[in-house]
Amino acid sequence: MAPEIPVRFLSTPQEYGEILSYQESLRDSVIAKKSEGEVLFLEHLPVYTSGLRGKTEQFIRPVGDIPVFNVRRGGELTFHNPGQLVIYPVIDFRHFGFRSIKEFVLFFADSIVKVLRDFCGVAGAVWRDDPSGIWVGERKIGFTGLHFRKFVPVHGFSVNISNDLAPFENIIPCGIVGCKITSVEKETGNIFDVNEVARKISEIINLNRRNDVSDP
């Protein structure tokens, strides 16, 4: 049976650069077999990030004093701020019984979707491979972008819970012209505590993993 996936919750919004440095250091420790790693659940202070396919022209309005990070992850432009849940699974996926990157990504995506549907009441939430992400109809509520080295990723997933969505209007999110961005609050009219949603997802992650590895 695969071991339980370790998780860590950060209860206050975090500065992006500091968390990125921590992820990279943690990955080095996992690769060196000095740590099992952990799945980080947190919120970020306002920040734009541009992935490997991001382009300058995808900024369509000034972003003011909000920092912009160019990072080595899949995807294009996105935005993080308080009220959005971010999930960084910095673990060696082989150690926890995953056989491929695709299986690993879909496992986390499906766990997030289950909590959005069953706990938050976003009945229409679904994962799509193309364009990748979690969608409610034609509205995007969840995002993914990872970078793997020796089977260990940094970066991860983000889900709009009750965050201000206006800053998304300054960019072409994920490189999708006309992409509509939504949140749990916008879809349901209810405000959920991000930390509570994080704990629900962490519970589902390890429950689903126990069920998966026990299947014949």
For residue 82, whether the previous peptide bond is cis, meaning omega lies within 30 degrees of 0, is no
Residue 173 one-letter amino acid: P
Tell me the β-bridge partners of 124: none
Which residues are tagged catalytic?
Answer: 174
Cα atoms found within 13 Å of the Cα of residue 37, Cβ hemisphere only = 27
Q: What residue spans of 51-151 are helical by DSSP H?
A: 101-118
Q: Which element (helix H / strand E) includes 193? A: none
Q: Which element (helix H / strand E) includes 80? A: strand 77-80
